[in-house]
A and B are shown apart, each in its own frame.
Chain A
Amino acid sequence: MTKEMPDRSRHPASYRDPSGFIFRLDGLCYRQVNEEYADDYRQLIDSGLYQALSSKNWLIGHSEVEQGPIGGPGHLKTLLPRQLPFISYPAEWSPDQLKDAALLTLGILRAAISRGMILKDASPTNIQFADGRPLFIDSLSFERYDASRPWVAYRQFCECFLYPLLLHHYHHQGVHKILAAYPEGIAASTTLPQLPLKSRLRPGIWLHVVLPARIRQGDGDAARLPPFDEKKLLLVVDNLESTIQKLRTDAPGEGSWRRYYSETILSSSYLAEKEKIFREMLGSIGFSSALDLGANDGHFSKILAERKALVIAADSDWACIGNLYRWCRDTGTSIYPLCIDIADPTPASGFGHAERSSFTERAESDLVIALALIHHLVLTRNIPFHMLAGYIARLTRAHLIVEFVAATDEKAILLTRNKPGFHKPYNANAFEQEFGRYFTIIRRTPIPGTERILYLMRKKEGQ
């Protein structure tokens, strides 16, 4: 799904760690281990840590490629890790996803310490989601543990995991926008003024936010500090874990779309009719990947997943995505729930704009579905039909299932009641005409008892 890179080239995101890097060859991702990582790699394997973590599906499994390709100089070994079909970024995760990623990182850290190793970094980008659950993917993040020293990645862990989760706990705004603004993590000194005063009474906050915010990075001479030991480190890890476990990831009130399907007066018969038509349309096409735009609680993503397709479920409401993520995690379903605003999707970012690819680049699928979405983008976000059709045509390789909601529909009236300034004409004819530039309409089925129409479309050649 990602853009093809020239053969044997280093992955543009894999440049920081001198221990090795990811490269791609013939459509497969390999990891080169460099000679300078030899001792740490030996310890990872010989201590049984790799086996212990990979057998629990905490750490990505790999095979050593004996006669395999070499990515570049300094080569020690080439690993062929389990191939992941889709990569997401922390700036697209719900608070639940970040919390689970944080707890997995701490669980792995504790397992590593017990086998004489430690994590040398603690970035959430070390985590991906597979089969609905977090998976640690950086096999070179482990190094031999020197018990006299504290955890080198402590500050990074707090800035990338703990502080965004704390801000969400007190402000209920999700974590994705914080991590989009601060991809390297948000500093303690930036976090602290945003926390309520009463929060400082919590020991976890005092220790992990107030104290680090008061102590500057240059303070203290590392060489002169009193020696640390494993017992103290485990106390710090336990305390981080219990602090994070207590943080809320849900919403105190109900968000904008959280009960859209379960409580709207359109609900039961509308949903049943829509699902029936949707299933008929799905039955007539083939696809191996699907993108659900405006997925809400994932009702239709779950139907797509029944077809064993790779399903990406995007919605701007972090609480909806959080609910769907928890369901996927608990059932082991391979759906990728992402916090995405369709009117402002994740851009290509990082060094040279190449470290993290754009949502559009990653999410291109055989089928796109956009149910109960178009009217929001046109009436609320003022995106003209033809621009919307053009963008969706970039996201789908073949088919589109889209719902048109008439201006006289109860929900559309709510959106336009106090907002006369949207692009007109807004009606089914204009919709069909503009989408018709990019798509051929295969089926057009009104949903009985509503002012809504479901369309199955095929992308035109050359679009």
Chain B
Amino acid sequence: MKGLLLYIDPGSGSYLVQVIIGAVLGALFYFKRFWLRVKTFFVRKKKGASTENDEGNA
């Protein structure tokens, strides 16, 4: 019933646009998070390796 009280016309197209944008950004968000995990995994590993080297040199 809420829609009946609206005094600006959002147009159903505007809803569809937001559903698509929401889906695209949602997918990007999960992809970014996944990518960050992968990156963190390798960076940490690399960092760990270089720390060992530093200790070796010292």
Contacts and interface: CB of A to CB of B under 8 A. Distances in A.
Interface string B1-30: 011011111111111111111111110010
A131 to B, nearest CB: 29
The prevalent SS among residues of B at the interface is helix
A40 to B, nearest CB: 9
Nearest to A37: B5
A120 B21 contact: no
A150 B3 CA distance: 12
A211 to B, nearest CB: 6
Interface in A388-437: none
Given A219-B13, A220-B12, A221-B12, A235 B18 contact: no
A182 interface: no
A235 B11 CA distance: 21
B41 to A, nearest CB: 25
A289 to B, nearest CB: 35
B21 A211 contact: yes
Contacts of A16: 7-8
Interface residues of A, number: 37
A215 interface: yes
B32 to A, nearest CB: 11
Contacts of B5: 18, 36, 143
A226 B18 CA distance: 11
B13 A215 contact: yes
Interface in B17-58: 17-26, 29
B17 A153 contact: no
A348 interface: no
A17 B8 CA distance: 9
A155 interface: yes
Given A16-B7, A152-B10, A154-B10, A225 B15 contact: yes
20 contacts: A16-B8, A146-B2, A150-B19, A151-B18, A155-B17, A211-B17, A211-B20, A212-B14, A212-B17, A215-B16, A217-B9, A217-B11, A217-B13, A217-B14, A225-B16, A225-B19, A228-B22, A235-B29, A236-B18, A236-B25
Interface of A: 16-18, 36, 120-121, 143, 146, 149-156, 207-208, 211-212, 215-222, 225-226, 228, 231-233, 235-236, 239
